Amino acid sequence: MKRYLCAAVLGLAMSCGLKEIGGEHVQSGDGTIWEGPGTSIADGATQGKRTIWYATGFEYPEGYDWKSDPESGSVKCSLVVFANGVPMMKVPVGDDYETGSGPDMHRIIDGCLYTDYSSDSETVLKKNGKEVVRYSGREMIVSMYVDDDDIYTLGQPRAGGGFTFRRNGEVQLSRENGYVLSGFRKDSQGLSFAFSETIKASGEALERYYLAVGDEVRQIAVREDIKKVWDVVLYEGEICYLASFVGISTPVLVKGDLMTALDMPLSMQMISGSLIPAEGSIYVEAICGRNALQFIGGIWKDGKQYKIFNSGQIVSNICTWEDGICCTVSQMVPTGLSQIFRCGETIQAPAGFVVMGNKPVAMVDGIMYVAMNPLAGGHPLIWKDGETETLKINGYLSSIYADQPSQDTVRD
C-alpha cells in the first residue's frame, strides 16, 4: 500500500502540553489523559444523530515553532482528537507514555482512538490512551481492523522485510520476506488482505501473490505471462488484481475471468498502482511516467480512463463515496496542495496549505472533508465542500474521519 507523507512531517519531535479547554483528566498507568466535551460514537450517545467528523492532530505549546522544531525530542506535545471541531481527547506523546508522534501511528475506529507504539523490543496497542495489547517484536502497523473486542493487525518489522498478521497480538500468519499489497477489507466472505512473497526457484528469485481470506490463503495470478502484480483485492466476491502481462503494453485489470487493459496512452508507463473498490465500480489509481523527468497521476474506472492530471501532479489520499472517488492532487515538488478532486469535479484548493499524514481526506453523506495545514504561519483548517473551519491549535492535523452512527464504520 502506498503512503503519501508531506516532507515537513519527517522532522517532527518524538514528544510533543496543551492549553486545556474544559474537560477533565483521567489518571491511568499510561499517564494523564484529558477528556473533553467532544462526542464519541463509542459512548452510545449518538444513535440516530447526525454525521460526526473526527480530526486528529499534534499540538505543541503556544509560541513553539513546531515546523522547524528546534527542541526536537525535548518539547512536550499531545495527540488531540476533535469531534465536530470540539476537543474530545488529548493523550500525552513520548517514549515515557508509549505513544508515538508519527502521523501513521494512530487511527479512529468506531469513535475511539487506537494508537501503536514500538520500542526496541515490543509493540504496544492502546485504545483511548490505555493499553489493550502488548507483544514482542518491533512492528509498524500498516492496517488495523476492530471487531467488537478483537483487534486485527498487519505489522511490518521496522527493520527488515516480511509481515505478521495478528489477532489481539497473537500470530495468525507470518512471512519473513513478503510484504503487504493491500490492507484489511471485510465483506460477506470475511476479513481479507493481500500480500506477496519472494521465493527461490532454480536459483532465481520469483515473486508470488496471495490473498488471505479468513483462515484460507489463496495463491493468485499464477499465469506464466504475468510480469508483475501491482495490487489485489477481494471485490464483490471475486478476486481482482492489477497486473502487467507479457505482450500487453498497458497494465490489465483482472476481475474473475474478465480482463480489461487500462485505457492508457502508449507514452505512459505505470510506476505504481492501486485498486480502490467502490459501490458498483472498481477504480485504479496510478503514478505514471512519460520519461525520466515527467511524472503524472491518473485514475481509471473499470479500466476506462477517468482522469489524467497534469504533468507533475500526483494523486494521493483517496476515499470513495457510493460510486464516486475523491482525492487530493499535489505537485511532485512540495509547494502546497494544488487541487481537490471530488467525484469527477476538480476544485482549486486554498492557497498555502498542504495535507499531512496518511488519512487527511474523508467522504460521508455526500460531503467531502479535507484536513489542511498551513505552509506559513496560522492554524490548520477543515475544508468541507468549499467551506472551511479553523481549529485553533499550535500544530498540525494528521487525519480526518467521518461517520454516520447508523452505518458501519469505515476501517483503517
Q: How do the domains of the chain map onto residue ranges?
A: 1-120+356-412, 267-349
d(C-alpha 258, C-alpha 244), whole Å: 15
Per-residue pLDDT at 225 = 93
Torsional class of 33: left (φ above 0), alpha (ψ -120 to 50), beta (otherwise): beta
Please give the order of strands across the beta sheet that includes 150-157: 139-147, 150-157, 163-167, 170-175
Q: Evaluate if residue 99 carries a pLDDT over 90.
A: yes
268 versus 22: the higher-pLDDT residue is 268
- 150: its cell numbers: 478483537
Instruction: Report residue 39's pLDDT band, with 50, 70 and 90 as the boundaries.
Output: low
Q: Give the C-alpha distances (Å, rounded to integers) separating 377 from 68, 85, 129, 155.
A: 12, 20, 30, 36
Per-residue pLDDT at 38 = 64
Residue whose C-alpha cell reads 521465493 in the numeric block? 199
Per-residue pLDDT at 266 = 85
Per-residue pLDDT at 204 = 82
Neighbours of 220 (CB within 10 A): 18
Q: Evaluate if residue 4 carries a pLDDT over 60.
A: no
Q: Evaluate if residue 73 carries a pLDDT over 90.
A: no
Per-residue pLDDT at 79 = 95
Residue whose C-alpha cell reads 498497458 in the numeric block? 250
Q: Which amino acid is at 401?
A: Y
Q: Evaluate if residue 155 carries a pLDDT over 90.
A: yes
Query: Of the candidates 98, 4, 20, which has an alpha carbon nearest to the alpha carbon of residue 398?
Result: 4
- 164: its cell numbers: 505478521
Please give the order of strands across the beta sheet that includes 190-201: 179-187, 190-201, 204-213, 216-220
Per-residue pLDDT at 208 = 94
Q: Tens digit of pLDDT for each residue in 291-300? A: 766 889 999 9
Q: What is the 3-state secondary structure (H, E, C) of the chain?
A: CCCCCCHHHCCCCCCCCCCCCCCEEEEECCEEEEECCCCCHHHCCCCCCCCEEEEEEEECCCCCCCCCCCCCCCCCCEEEEEECCEEEEEEECEHHHCECCCCCCEEEECCEEEEEEECCCEEEEEECCEEEEEEECCEEEEEEEEECCEEEEEEEECCCCCEEEEECCEEEEEECCCEEEEEEEEECCEEEEEEEEEEEECCEEEEEEEEEECCEEEEECCCCCEEEEEEEEEECCEEEEEEEECCCCCCEEEECCEEEECCCCCCCEEEEEEEEECCCCEEEEEEEEEECCEEEEEEEECCEEEEECCCCEEEEEEEEECCEEEEEEEECCCCCEEEEEECCEEEECCCCEECCCCECEEEECCEEEEEEEECCCCCCEEEECCEEEECCCCEEEEEEEEECCCCCCCCC
Average pLDDT over every residue of 8-16: 36
Residues in the chain: 412
- Tell me whether strands 353-354 and 345-348 are parallel, antiparallel or unpaired: unpaired
Q: Evaluate if residue 8 carries a pLDDT over 50.
A: no
Q: Evaluate if residue 32 carries a pLDDT over 90.
A: no
Mean pLDDT in the chain? 85
Average pLDDT over every residue of 290-318: 89
Query: Of the candidates 351, 345, 349, 376, which has an alpha carbon nearest to the alpha carbon of residue 360?
Result: 349
Instruction: Report residue 184's pLDDT band, with 50, 70 and 90 as the boundaries.
Output: very high
325 versus 332: the higher-pLDDT residue is 325
Q: Give the C-alpha distances (Å, rounded to integers) separating 125 from 26, 37, 116, 364.
A: 19, 25, 5, 27
Angle in degrees, CA 156, 161, 166, rounded to 5: 30
Q: Evaluate if residue 267 carries a pLDDT over 90.
A: no
Q: What are phi and psi of 23, to 5 degrees?
A: 80, -170
Per-residue pLDDT at 11 = 35
pTM (two decimals) = 0.87
d(C-alpha 131, C-alpha 134), whole Å: 8
β-bridge partners, 197: 208
Q: Tens digit of pLDDT for each residue in 392-409? A: 999 999 999 998 654 443
